[in-house]
Chain A
Amino acid sequence: MSNQTAMAQRGLMPITIQNITLTLNERMLIDDLSCIIKSDGISVIMGPNGAGKSLFMRCLHGLAKPDMGQILYADTPLDSLIRQQQSLVFQTPTILRRTVLANLLFVARQRGIDDPKISMDYLAQLQLDHLAQHPARLLSGGEKQRLALARALIINPAILFLDEATSNLDPASIETIETNLQSVSKQGMKLILVTHDVGQAKRLADDVLFLHHGKLAEHSPAKSFFQKPKSAAARAYLAGKLVL
């Protein structure tokens, strides 16, 4: 069974975004955004600060509700059953006031995974097994983010969202996380990540969604996006010019 078949069997892909609009405090933060996110690989959402990237991701995951338009997962509107097959790694991870292992066990138990050995395997995969009994809130920034990734992966989601999950991390932590992301992507997990890091996007992305002023300025395969961006905003962004 191919990875894509596995994804299709979970009934979540592709994601069809139809004319979503979101206004907060009379500011239109997402403006009539439509696109289709394909079922495989790593989709990267890029754009300058305030472009609406994180909000768009929150809409995709159901943490924010668009005022208009709809998001369909294989023709089905987002509901809690679909959301249970997704994980989101936040930019600043929420760490439960427990040990590292207890953090992972809490998430695992939400999906009926009771065996602590499985949790330990995931900790080992993210090089955190030696800290299993350590209070999680005393971890370093990089360790916390790896713990957040382990928590996201242990439920084996069909779609993994990452909201600037590696910002402010040291290169070693970034490499550990990226290696894991590439590995799970190869196993068929759909990854959608928001990043400001052009280098990271080049290393990971299969396709890029570039947002500007809440609109989708461009949605292209990664190779063509980085070699020859179609939109003026993306060209300016990649050239290092500030785009507000």
Chain B
Amino acid sequence: MPIYSESFAAAFGLLASSDRDLMEILALSINVSLASLVLSCVIGLPIGAFLAMRHFPMRDFLVGVFNALMGLPPVVVGLLVYLHLSRSGPFGWLGLLYTPQAMVIAQMILITPIIIALSCQVLEDLHEDYKDFFDSLVVPKRTALLAYIIDARYSLMTVILAGFGRAISEVGAVIIVGGNIDHLTRVMTTAIALETSKGELALALALGFILLAISLAVNFLVQWLKASARRRAYV
């Protein structure tokens, strides 16, 4: 199996030499994922909190919809965003197709339901716990919401990291709306797909290692946060 050893060696070589192309792809991947994560949190956390704290006729239906949307197929999201951003689509005039912004939009659509559904669950549990106490104290709703966010900070960080994990490892949507253009919209996952199809395994493997390392780091961080919060009885 010489191909494996050669590819591994080449991959480590690229990593060790901080290859320019590799670093560019890595930076774009992280930037796109972080941007989509920030937007998703801005949209998703208030909606999650609203669903957790309020009871209204369609509430359970909406929670069910957001739970179901956590499993959105990325290629379907990519296709829908493509249709909307293409020249003949309703937002074609923005000229966003095949840009990093289009990739951010696609990833944001993918991870917002995750942020909403998981944050709703976290905050709903806390709301059940605190409800009578806050009601007894006549705590204003805004203060209560802030208290929920502060007290659920560890769990919410876990939710946010889960969203980041989903964004950074996603390929289907970004390849459709980004087009995998070199030096413009090429991210780790799309580069891995391309390099593998070309038989250029070294770069693909190097990117794979980094992606795996990021994934592991995110998961270890989640575990550490959970353990740390449990130790301090904050969950």
Q: What is A's interface to B at a CB cutoff of 8 Å?
A: 61, 63, 80, 83-84, 86-88, 90, 94, 96-98, 106-107, 110, 135-138
Contacts and interface: CB of A to CB of B under 8 A. Distances in A.
B138 A83 contact: yes
B147 A137 contact: no
Given A63-B136, A84-B138, A107-B137, A96 B130 contact: yes
B135 interface: yes
Contacts of B147: 96, 106
21 contacts: A63-B132, A80-B138, A83-B136, A84-B138, A87-B137, A90-B132, A90-B133, A94-B132, A94-B133, A96-B147, A97-B151, A97-B234, A97-B235, A98-B151, A98-B234, A110-B137, A110-B138, A135-B234, A136-B233, A137-B233, A137-B234
A88 B133 CA distance: 8
Given A63-B135, A96-B151, A137-B233, 17 more contacts: A61-B136, A63-B132, A80-B138, A84-B138, A86-B136, A94-B129, A94-B130, A94-B133, A96-B147, A97-B233, A97-B234, A98-B151, A98-B234, A107-B137, A135-B232, A137-B234, A138-B233
Interface centre among B133, B137, B143 (most CB of A within 10 A): B137
Contacts of B76: none
Nearest to A88: B136
Nearest to A58: B132
B27 interface: no
Nearest to B234: A97
Given A135-B234, A137-B234, A87 B136 contact: yes
Interface centre among A80, A106, A137 (most CB of B within 10 A): A106
B9 interface: no
A132 to B, nearest CB: 15
A67 to B, nearest CB: 19
Interface string B211-235: 0000000000000000000001111
B139 interface: yes
Interface pairs A-B: 8 shortest CB-CB: A137-B233, A94-B133, A97-B151, A97-B234, A135-B233, A88-B136, A138-B233, A135-B232
A106 B146 CA distance: 11
A97 B235 CA distance: 7
B136 to A, nearest CB: 5
Contacts of B133: 90, 94
A131 to B, nearest CB: 13
Contacts of A83: 136, 138
A149 to B, nearest CB: 14
A145 to B, nearest CB: 14
Nearest to B233: A137
Interface centre among A84, A87, A94, A97 (most CB of B within 10 A): A97
A97 to B, nearest CB: 4
Contacts of B132: 63, 90, 94
A83 B139 CA distance: 11
A9 B93 CA distance: 68
A186 B130 CA distance: 31
A89 to B, nearest CB: 9
Contacts of B139: 110
Interface string B134-171: 01111100010001001110000000000000000000
B235 to A, nearest CB: 7
